[in-house]
Structure 1
């Protein structure tokens, strides 16, 4: 089965959805996927890209991207309300820039919805502003997309995933690989195809939604800590709601891998951190004898083996057909000395 992530990053018309939601957590960041989205979208000469930076500096997100005339960057990381005179409300400037963009398809990317909500001081006002952006995206030609990154748990997440905000959505959630290892060892539930999808998702979804579970596995005693560097890899949960071509199921949920060393999307089986799930320990033939170095003898001598072979098996009809009997069945009872057998009616004295 082909991976979903490459087609999502390419934003092809067949797999296009106007809304892409990237979900990070304290246990696993999704910024690598965000960089890849920016890199893929910026290479489309027919699509205008507006990048809104509130948490990550624009240079850190555009490190692998050649900024050209199709990319418009608005960096608000140095404009903090209450600490900077320039920290004004950015909503009017953003809406003006979106409306002034040249005709054609348009991509709007917000690197941190939660930072924007913190700057505005109101989740409801932030939702209203984002709803204005998705409305402007829908008015643009396909494939126009609004991409948002949210930090779980967030008060905006339940609002953004509702069908009222967008009937169709591509939701990408990052998870640490140790979460799958924990499910495989503690709950005997490895990811498909090693277990059935119904069993796996029934265990995975409730545990993954409890953020403290992942934090305990990553930062707790014996945890590996957050991944980083060139060898960073993590698990990506892809949820697609509402197919654009009408042939995809209403809701599709899969797990895929992400490896910086391998260039991005990959199969789960390709992740080095999950090799312990797929590797089966096979006992080699001709290994050490388990009957050695014990205080008693488990082996039989030749005479003992012959004697055991001559013992008849305790089965009366072993290998013999059962004869058919013509005598009718009967119950034979031999009374005991303590039995009180009387042919008289015991209730004859009763007037019934």
Structure 2
């Protein structure tokens, strides 16, 4: 599977839909800022336009890492709040007009955020209908055009936005705090792959990560470090559909990547908060064989193993297979009396007149 840095560039073919997912315990804004930085510094010969629609965060918060922000058209709708703004405009019609106004080349539409958009519209159904229409416009353009959505869970539209009916291809980035993996490694003895087989790890990781209150307790609880931490996070990457070179990707691929404010996209175990997991696994693998450090010999010689195999088993029926009879075989019970059993062939009730 392609690594995280590759997925954050415009060179990933066939992926027209990116979904960035934040939570109360971990924000995915660093990924969005990095993505906008790649879009703003694009050197592609083909004409490309990037439209950023701000509904939740100020443009400077998202563009602080963009060196050439002139390549990105910013539309600030932070003050456009229904019921409070004197000149409130429907963002849906304005956004569609801005997108359809771009006639040539590919286009990147970035919306921050979907849950704020849904709150302004006031209807999940109408919001989904609008986003579906926008996705249809993106798919009708070149395969390098993209729709990039950011949302914060819990969001009622999330189950609908990850369906194949909305978009056959999908790249989803889900931000998790590193303490989630350290907790699973210590409490459930399931460190992340390759130290634990992927089926076993994800059978524990997925249901635990979906319970937001569990993760919030690890971050904001009595022993939590808060959301700041070391400026690191774990990114769960899901890729569905799209093309990788000349091969069309089938099914869903899932992986875990690391992210650091200093290193950017990086390997999972290069994070400072997760190096302990790699060290503990290495120590366990380097532990000496207990049969080699004992003061006496725990191994058997070939002659001892042969003598051991010839010892008869202490059973009444020694496990010897019976010859296959030609007719039906009656059931039998093999019983070896114990020394304390009181066995008497006489009928104990023979004096009773029954």
Q: Which category describes the TM-score, using the shorter chain as reference length?
A: 0.7 to 0.9
Q: Distance in 2 between matches of 1:19 and 1:124?
A: 20
Q: Report the counterpart of residue 238 of structure 1 in structure 2.
A: 237
Task: List per-residue Cα deviations over 1:1-29 (Å, max 9, x = no partner).
Answer: x7521111112144x41100000000100
Task: List per-residue Cα deviations over 1:163-201 (Å, max 9, x = no partner).
Answer: 110011001100000000010000000000111001000
How does the TM-score come out when normalised to structure 1? 0.77
Q: Distance in 1 between matches of 2:88 and 2:308?
A: 97
The 1:213–1:67 alpha-carbon spacing in structure 2 relative to 1, beyond 3 Å, is same
Q: Distance in 2 between matches of 1:70 and 1:265?
A: 23
The 1:119–1:322 alpha-carbon spacing in structure 2 relative to 1, beyond 3 Å, is closer
Unmatched 5+ stretches in structure 1: 286-317, 324-337, 343-352
Q: Distance in 2 between matches of 1:203 and 1:321?
A: 42
Q: Report the counterpart of residue 268 of structure 2 in structure 1.
A: 268
Give the alignment partner of residue 40 of structure 2, picking from 31, 39, 42.
42
Deviation at 1:321, TM superposition (A): 12
Deviation at 1:248, TM superposition (A): 3.1
Q: Report the counterpart of residue 22 of structure 1 in structure 2.
A: 20
Instruction: Kindly indicate whether the alpha-carbon contact (under 8 Å) linking 2:258 and 2:271 is maintained by their aligned counterparts in 1.
Output: yes
Q: Distance in 1 between matches of 2:257 and 2:273?
A: 13
Q: Distance in 2 between matches of 1:250 and 1:217?
A: 32
Q: Report the counterpart of residue 131 of structure 2 in structure 1.
A: 130
Name the SS of the counterpart of 2:171 in structure 1: strand
Deviation at 1:66, TM superposition (A): 3.5
Q: Report the counterpart of residue 199 of structure 1 in structure 2.
A: 200
- Range 109-118 or range 274-283, more displaced: 274-283
Name the SS of the counterpart of 1:170 in structure 2: strand
Name the SS of the counterpart of 2:8 in structure 1: helix
The 1:85–1:321 alpha-carbon spacing in structure 2 relative to 1, beyond 3 Å, is closer
Name the SS of the counterpart of 2:233 in structure 1: strand
Q: Distance in 2 between matches of 1:28 and 1:68?
A: 26
Moved over 4 A (4+): 281-285, 318-323, 338-342
Q: Distance in 2 between matches of 1:340 and 1:223?
A: 72
How does the TM-score come out when normalised to structure 2? 0.77
Task: List per-residue Cα deviations over 1:181-227 (Å, max 9, x = no partner).
Answer: 01000000000011100100000000001111100100111011002
Name the SS of the counterpart of 1:65 in structure 2: coil
Q: Report the counterpart of residue 289 of structure 1 in structure 2.
A: none
Unmatched 5+ stretches in structure 2: 288-305, 312-341, 347-354
Name the SS of the counterpart of 1:147 in structure 2: strand
How many residues end up aligned between the 2 structures? Answer: 294
Instruction: Kindly indicate whether the alpha-carbon contact (under 8 Å) linking 1:237 and 1:253 is maintained by their aligned counterparts in 2.
Output: yes
Q: Distance in 1 between matches of 2:63 and 2:172?
A: 22
Q: Report the counterpart of residue 278 of structure 1 in structure 2.
A: 278
**Larger Cα Rg: Structure 1 or Structure 2?**
1
